[in-house]
Amino acid sequence: MTTFTTADGTEIFYKDWGSGQPIVFHHGWPLSSDDWDAQMLFFLSKGYRVIAHDRRGHGRSTQTAHGNDMDTYAADVAALVAHLKLTNAVHIGHSTGGGEVARYVARHGAGHVAKAVLIGAVPPLMLKTAANPGGLPIEVFDGFRTSLAANRAQFYKEVPIPFYGFNREGVKVLDGVTENWWRQGMAGGIKAHYDCIKAFSETDFTEDLKAIDVPVLILHGDDDQIVPIADSAELSIKLVKHGTLKVYKGYPHGMCTTHADVINADLLAFIQG
């Protein structure tokens, strides 16, 4: 396996294929770089250098009991970028990975980033607060933590159903997709996954979004049952300087898998534009 070691001794697994302009993919919770299979293969075939890592505590990276927070995640990405000597990169993040992209680009990306993409992403803030009244109440995330701690394996059987919109009328359940979600989730560490719930739900990315100077593409399905569009993409587009929002009617949170052909084409158009 290909890994590099961060300053605190964490081994981060990554894939690095091809040549040309680099595209760095950031996965969602509690998955791994494998969640980008459809995009990695597509962009590799288009002549790009494609890179994806397993966030610490996820996939094949070290199952750390520390550093499972957005600042450290972004610092790990900066270390990966330095390790690979990347410049002019496009960073694409899904869900929690979208938050990771926002924080990385804002705090570490100067001189290294060409464009950024947020897909079904958690910014600016998922949690309901006085300043963010449309967010989800803390009880929702407490429920995630309770279910995770009680029976992670069963919880990870249940989450993919709304994740991919398989609970909607007329939508065929793809067993391979749900089983692959479960496989990726169970490969990671429970402590890191537990901590990451706080990271993706309570981190406020407002100032990160405001600080990003490169073009940003925001993609979101209007039937996203995991990260509701009204309190994410529709707010984020108002905060970025150079943003474009594209909404997909009826698409679920996991649209990079269920509608890969559409999403890939739109990503390619943005990168080439």
Q: Which of 54, 224, 231, 236 is catalytic?
A: 224
Tell me which residues of the chain have a pLDDT lower than 50.
Answer: none
CATH code of residue 165: 3.40.50.1820
CA 196/CA 36 separation, integer angstroms: 19
How many domains in the chain? 1
Residue 201: per-residue pLDDT: 98
Residue 249: per-residue pLDDT: 98
Residue of 257, 233, 95, 236 whose CA lies nearest to 165: 257
Q: Which of 58, 94, 193, 253 is catalytic?
A: 253
Q: Which of 32, 95, 201, 236 is catalytic?
A: 95
**259 given a catalytic annotation:** no
Domain that holds residue 25: 3-272
Structure tokens at 143: 């429920």
Instruction: Tell me if the pTM is above 0.75.
Output: yes
E-only strand ranges, the chain: 3-5, 11-17, 22-26, 49-53, 89-94, 113-119, 216-221, 243-248
Residue of 92, 39, 40, 96 whose CA lies nearest to 68: 96
CA 122/CA 21 separation, integer angstroms: 26
**201 given a catalytic annotation:** no
**95 given a catalytic annotation:** yes
Residue 81: per-residue pLDDT: 98
Residue 1: per-residue pLDDT: 82
Q: Tell me which amino acid residue 169 is.
A: E
Residue 38: per-residue pLDDT: 98
